């Protein structure tokens, strides 16, 4: 009889509807018994009043009754943060000090695994070492870094033929920690064919940066890539967390251990994930 219950620390900026949906997807899978775990707390780097979307996220967390831990990154040493935009050494120090602030607000919680889902800040090296953290990233292991918006625009810039979604161990290197699970999918042919043709037509007179500035997230090709990625994020994050909850995966000494052996390269779940979205 299984007695271990995974205690999850959930980290999110709550910047969009997807952030809310990701949390509720995992919550629903906890409720129906798919994931043997519980949400120990939800951390957000925005306070109420900073943005409408994050306010909705925090309202949702409150409605669910989960403990909330908040440390506004916007209000934390703003002058130092401003200088950090021009100096990487200052930025690194700001991250270390801000992570110290996070430690204060989560200190009272007992948790086994931190899940970064829509968390828009880079975590400092010391925080990564002190805690077991995994991150959802909207690209393949060798794909673009950055936010999902940055990833998609880079895919368009490079005329990429495939993209994907992955879960990886959080390290100080942005979006490049050891891969846990991933899936990939094509972004050419089918519904994409006409959208790429329209994009190529736009690129005859404009740069990708100009198109981004004019159309932002409403650009049709951008939207289609996002749609196909997003529907894969939900089953991938559930599958990954379930592996930790079932004790099939562990983090030991900064390494991923799968059933007693080091996991290298991660699990490719493209076929399994595709079945859930067909």
Q: Which domain holds residue 81?
A: 6-277
- The mean predicted confidence, pLDDT, of the chain is 92
Q: Is the pLDDT of residue 278 over 80?
A: no
- Average pLDDT in the 32-50 region? 96
Residue 1: inside a domain: no
Residue 32: inside a domain: yes
Higher-scoring residue by pLDDT: 176, 276: 276
Looking up residue 47, the CATH number of its domain turns out to be 3.40.50.170
Specify whether the CB–CB gap between 17 and 26 falls below 8 A: no
Number of domains in the chain: 1
Query: How far is it, in rounded angstroms, from Cα 49 to Cα 51?
Result: 6
Q: pLDDT digits over 189-237, tens only? A: 999 999 999 999 999 999 999 999 999 999 999 999 999 999 999 999 9
Q: Residue 77: its pLDDT value, please?
A: 93
Q: What are phi and psi of 31, to 5 degrees?
A: -65, -40
Q: Residue 174: its pLDDT value, please?
A: 64
């Amino acid at each position: 009889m299984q007695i271990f219950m995974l205690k999850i620390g959930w980290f999110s900026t709550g910047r969009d509807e997807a952030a809310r949906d990701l949390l509720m997807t995992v919550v629903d899978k906890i409720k129906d018994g798919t994931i043997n775990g519980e949400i120990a707390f939800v951390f957000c780097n925005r306070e109420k009043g900073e943005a409408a979307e994050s306010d909705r996220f925090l309202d949702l967390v409150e409605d669910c009754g989960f403990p909330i831990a908040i440390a506004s990154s916007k209000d934390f040493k703003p002058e130092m943060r401003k200088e950090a935009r021009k100096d990487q050494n200052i930025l690194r120090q700001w991250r270390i000090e801000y992570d110290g602030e996070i430690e204060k607000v989560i200190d009272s919680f007992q948790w086994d695994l931190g899940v970064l889902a829509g968390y828009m800040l880079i975590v400092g090296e010391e925080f990564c070492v002190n805690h077991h953290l995994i991150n959802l990233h909207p690209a393949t292991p060798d794909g673009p870094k950055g936010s999902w918006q940055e990833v998609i625009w880079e895919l368009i810039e490079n005329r990429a033929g495939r993209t994907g979604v992955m879960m990886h161990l959080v390290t100080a290197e942005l979006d490049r920690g050891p891969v846990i699970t991933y899936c990939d999918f094509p972004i050419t042919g089918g519904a994409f064919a006409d959208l790429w043709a329209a994009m190529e037509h736009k690129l005859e007179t404009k740069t990708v940066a100009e198109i981004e500035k004019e159309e932002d997230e409403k650009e049709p090709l951008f939207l289609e890539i996002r749609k196909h990625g997003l529907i894969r994020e939900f089953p991938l994050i559930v599958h990954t967390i379930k592996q930790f909850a079932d004790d099939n995966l562990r983090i030991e000494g900064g390494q991923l251990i799968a059933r007693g052996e080091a996991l290298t390269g991660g699990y490719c779940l493209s076929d399994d994930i595709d079945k859930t979205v067909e």
